[in-house]
C-alpha cells in the first residue's frame, strides 16, 4: 500500500515535468497592455520573430489595452500558468499603477512570475524649436525666476512624461504647471505649437521633429547619451546628477508557471537581448540599459521600482479611482 501511495503522490509531479519538457507544443501569446505603436508594442514586435524561432513555435502579439494597462495585466494574471500566455510589462504597469490607482485589479508581485528583463526606454526633455532656452540650466533658471509661469505637457496623469516633469520639479525645487493630454502625440504637438513650454517624451518619437528644427532636445533622461541624439547631454551631464529616469520593460508570466517553463523562456529572451545586432536595432529605436537579470533578480527589481515610483506618484497628486 505504501508503494502505491508513493507512486500516486509522484504521478502528478511526473506529469507536470513531462508537459514542461515538451514546452512549447503550440503558439505562445505575448500580451501588450498598451496600444499599437507604443514603446512596449514596438519592443514586443521586435522580439516576436526571434522568440518564435528560439522556441520553435509561433509567437502571437496581442494588444489588450485599457484602464492604464490593467486590462492586459488582469488577463494574464487570470490565464493558465502554463507558459502559453505572457505579458510585456513595464514600469507603468508593474510600479506606477500601484500608486496611481486606488483599486488596482491585479497585484504585480503576487499575480505574476518574473521571466526576463529586456531593456529601458528613456525620454528626451524637449522645448519648441524657437525657445530661448538652449540648456536645462536656462530652463531651470527661468522656472526659478518665475514660479508657476511655465508649464509642461504629458500624455496623461500618472504617465512617465508627467512624472518626469514632477521629478524635475522636486530635484530643482521649482514649480511648473502640468497640462495632461489624451496621449503622448498630442502632448508633443502642444510643445511643437508653443502651447506648452516643455515636456519629456520618448526619444524616437520626437527625433524627426528635433532633426527638422521644430523641437530642441535639451537633455536625455538615461544614464548614457542616446545613439539617436549623440550631441545631446544626459541630465547628469547638464548639471542635474540626481535626475535619471527610464521606463524598464520585461516579460512576466502568470503566478504558478512551472520553473522549467520559466527557465526556457528566460534563456531564450536573454539570448535575444544579448545578440549584438538585435541590441543595435533596439538602440536605434531609443532603447537602452540592457542588463542580465535572473527571474528572481527581476522580481526584486520590480519591488524596488514600486518603492521608487510610488512616492513620486504621490508627490505628483495623480490619482485614478
Per-residue pLDDT of the chain (321 residues; tens, 9 = 90+): 444 444 444 444 444 444 456 999 999 999 999 888 788 898 999 999 999 999 999 999 999 988 888 999 999 999 999 999 999 999 999 999 998 898 999 999 999 999 999 998 889 999 999 999 999 999 999 999 999 999 999 988 888 899 899 999 989 999 999 999 988 889 999 999 999 999 999 888 898 999 999 999 999 998 888 888 999 999 999 999 988 888 899 999 999 999 999 999 999 999 999 999 999 888 888 787 678 899 999 999 999 999 998 888 887 777 776
State residue 219 phi and psi, 5-degree precision. -170, 165
Q: Retrieve residue 173's grid coordinates.
A: 525645487
Q: What is the DSSP code (8-state) at residue 58?
A: -
Question: Range(s) for CATH 3.40.190.10 in the chain?
Answer: 122-220
Would you state the pLDDT for residue 127? 99
Would you state the pLDDT for residue 21? 64
Would you state the pLDDT for residue 35? 83
Question: Range(s) for CATH 3.40.190.150 in the chain?
Answer: 27-121+246-316
Q: What is the DSSP code (8-state) at residue 231?
A: T
Would you state the pLDDT for residue 102? 87
Would you state the pLDDT for residue 13? 45
The residue among 154, 139, 191, 202 whose CA lies nearest residue 318 is 154
Residues 6+ apart with CB under 8 A from 14: none
Cβ atoms of residues 266 and 209 within 8 Å: no
Which class in CATH covers the domain with range 27-121+246-316? alpha beta
Q: Work out whether strand 177-180 and strand 151-154 pair parallel, antiparallel, or are unpaired.
A: parallel
Would you state the pLDDT for residue 182? 84
User: Is domain 122-220 annotated with CATH 3.40.190.10?
Assistant: yes
Would you state the pLDDT for residue 244? 84
Would you state the pLDDT for residue 237? 97
Q: Work out whether strand 246-254 and strand 85-90 pair parallel, antiparallel, or are unpaired.
A: antiparallel
Burial class (CB in 10 A: 0-12, 13-18, 19+), 148: exposed
The residue among 189, 41, 221 whose CA lies nearest residue 229 is 221
Q: Retrieve residue 4's grid coordinates.
A: 502505491
Residue 128's DSSP bridge partners are 215
Site of grid cell 494588444: 63
pTM confidence score: 0.82
Residue 178's DSSP bridge partners are 152
Amino acid at each position: 500500500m505504501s508503494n502505491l501511495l508513493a507512486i500516486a503522490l509522484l504521478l502528478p509531479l511526473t506529469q507536470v515535468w513531462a508537459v514542461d519538457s515538451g514546452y512549447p507544443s503550440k503558439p505562445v501569446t505575448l500580451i501588450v497592455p498598451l496600444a499599437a505603436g507604443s514603446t512596449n508594442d514596438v519592443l514586443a514586435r521586435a522580439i516576436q520573430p526571434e522568440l518564435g524561432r528560439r522556441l520553435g513555435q509561433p509567437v502571437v502579439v496581442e494588444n489588450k489595452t485599457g484602464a492604464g494597462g490593467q486590462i492586459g495585466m488582469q488577463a494574464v494574471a487570470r490565464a493558465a500558468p502554463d507558459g502559453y500566455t505572457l505579458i510585456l510589462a513595464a514600469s507603468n504597469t508593474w510600479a506606477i499603477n500601484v500608486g496611481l490607482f486606488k483599486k488596482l485589479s491585479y497585484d504585480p508581485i503576487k499575480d505574476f512570475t518574473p521571466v526576463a528583463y529586456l531593456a529601458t526606454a528613456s525620454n528626451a526633455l524637449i522645448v519648441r524649436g524657437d525657445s530661448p532656452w538652449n540648456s536645462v540650466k536656462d530652463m531651470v533658471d527661468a522656472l526659478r525666476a518665475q514660479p508657476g509661469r511655465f508649464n509642461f505637457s504629458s500624455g496623461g496623469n500618472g504617465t512617465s512624461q508627467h512624472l518626469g516633469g514632477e521629478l524635475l520639479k522636486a530635484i530643482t525645487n521649482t514649480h511648473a504647471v502640468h497640462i495632461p493630454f489624451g496621449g503622448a502625440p498630442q502632448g508633443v504637438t502642444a510643445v511643437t505649437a508653443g502651447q506648452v513650454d516643455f515636456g519629456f517624451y520618448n526619444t524616437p518619437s520626437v527625433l524627426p521633429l528635433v532633426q527638422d528644427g521644430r523641437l530642441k532636445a535639451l537633455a536625455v533622461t538615461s544614464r548614457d547619451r542616446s545613439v539617436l541624439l549623440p550631441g545631446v547631454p544626459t541630465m547628469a551631464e547638464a548639471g542635474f546628477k540626481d535626475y535619471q529616469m527610464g521606463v524598464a520593460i520585461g516579460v512576466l508570466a502568470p503566478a504558478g508557471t512551472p520553473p522549467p517553463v520559466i527557465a526556457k523562456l528566460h534563456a531564450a529572451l536573454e539570448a535575444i537581448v544579448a545578440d549584438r545586432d538585435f541590441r543595435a536595432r533596439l538602440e536605434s529605436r531609443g532603447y537602452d540599459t540592457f542588463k542580465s537579470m535572473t527571474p528572481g533578480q527581476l522580481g526584486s527589481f520590480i519591488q524596488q521600482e514600486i518603492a521608487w515610483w510610488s512616492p513620486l506618484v504621490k508627490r505628483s497628486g495623480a490619482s485614478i479611482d
